[in-house]
Amino acid sequence: MAALSPNDLRHYLTQRIAASEVDEPAEISSKPKSRALPAGPVLKSLDTVLDKVLDAATGGLPRALLVAGTSSGADATKAAIGLARALADRNEQVVLVDLAKGASAVSGPLGMPRVPGFADLSAGRANFGDVIRVDDETPLQVIAAGNPAVHGEGPEPDRFMRVFEALTQAYGCVVLHADLAAIEVLMPALKFELPIMVAVLPPRGNVESEDEALATFQALGCPVVVYEGSGRLRRSGLFSRSAAV
């Protein structure tokens, strides 16, 4: 799609949300769109993870990508930021959306305020103009996590899906950063909606020790790429700058 300015996207997204509020709530499908794959080998290179993500798309970028840690000791924030920046460097419209309910959020490393953010937006306490920010180093757009104590009307998965569908219409790729708490709450909405996800292990972690979290991820119904590493990319971006974080 043609590149849109942040203001254009905010206007479009606001219209989408306003329209969805008067429509019948979208039914969350119970039928699988893809089949979960067993956890494969643990990848040590974020470059290899990026290749796996791109391979999952049938040309271009995947519609959405979820990046989550298997425990509080796993730094999924660096991996999410690194992958989102690398995808944005491919001259595509990409947004990084933080769904984390805990302290591990992308706003800190990016030097952005956490509030207002996605939680405030989905609860109807903020609009897109309040929450969309632009990364200092890349064209990546970012929606921070917001205030986890904010509650809106209706089930949280329904509120998430309304915003998520608007974002997937406006952006070439929506990168979701989440923790286990967020995934468990949003499971009814996320299940069978994702083409691929990246599960980040803690340092020196292994599949056997993180099997409970990985089983939760596999219940999403999509291929799970398992990663353990520094969250840094070795390759350079399209504009001759390092894509590392």
pLDDT of 20 higher than 70: no
pLDDT of 93 higher than 50: yes
Please report whether residue 156 resides in a domain. Answer: yes
Please report whether residue 7 resides in a domain. Answer: no
Q: How many domains does the chain have?
A: 1
Please report whether residue 76 resides in a domain. Answer: yes
Please report whether residue 34 resides in a domain. Answer: no
Q: Which residue would you say has higher pLDDT here, 31 or 73?
A: 73
Question: What is the mean predicted confidence (pLDDT) over 213-237?
Answer: 88
| CATH number of the domain within which 219 lies | 3.40.50.300
Please report whether residue 38 resides in a domain. Answer: no
Please report whether residue 54 resides in a domain. Answer: yes
Tell me the residue range of the domain where 157 lies. 45-227
Q: What is the model's pLDDT at position 176?
A: 99
Q: What is the model's pLDDT at position 190?
A: 96
Please report whether residue 6 resides in a domain. Answer: no
Which of 43-52, 58-67, 96-105, 133-142 has the least mean pLDDT? 58-67
DSSP string, the chain: -----HHHHHHHHHHHHHHHHHSPPPPPP-S-SS-PPPP-PPB--HHHHHHHHHHTSSSS--SEEEEEESSTTS-HHHHHHHHHHHHHTTT--EEEEE---SS--THHHHT---SSSHHHHHTTSS-HHHHEEE-SSSS-EEE----TT---SS-HHHHHHHHHHHHHHH-SEEEEEE-HHHHHHHHHHHTTT-S-EEEEPPTT--TTTTHHHHHHHHTTSS-EEEE-S-S---SB-TTSSB---
pLDDT of 244 higher than 50: no
Q: What is the model's pLDDT at position 109?
A: 97
Please report whether residue 5 resides in a domain. Answer: no
Percent of the chain with pLDDT over 90: 69
Going by pLDDT thresholds of 50, 70 and 90, the confidence category of residue 151 is: confident
pLDDT of 61 higher than 50: yes
- The pLDDT mean for the chain works out to 86
Percent of the chain with pLDDT over 70: 80
Q: What is the model's pLDDT at position 14?
A: 66
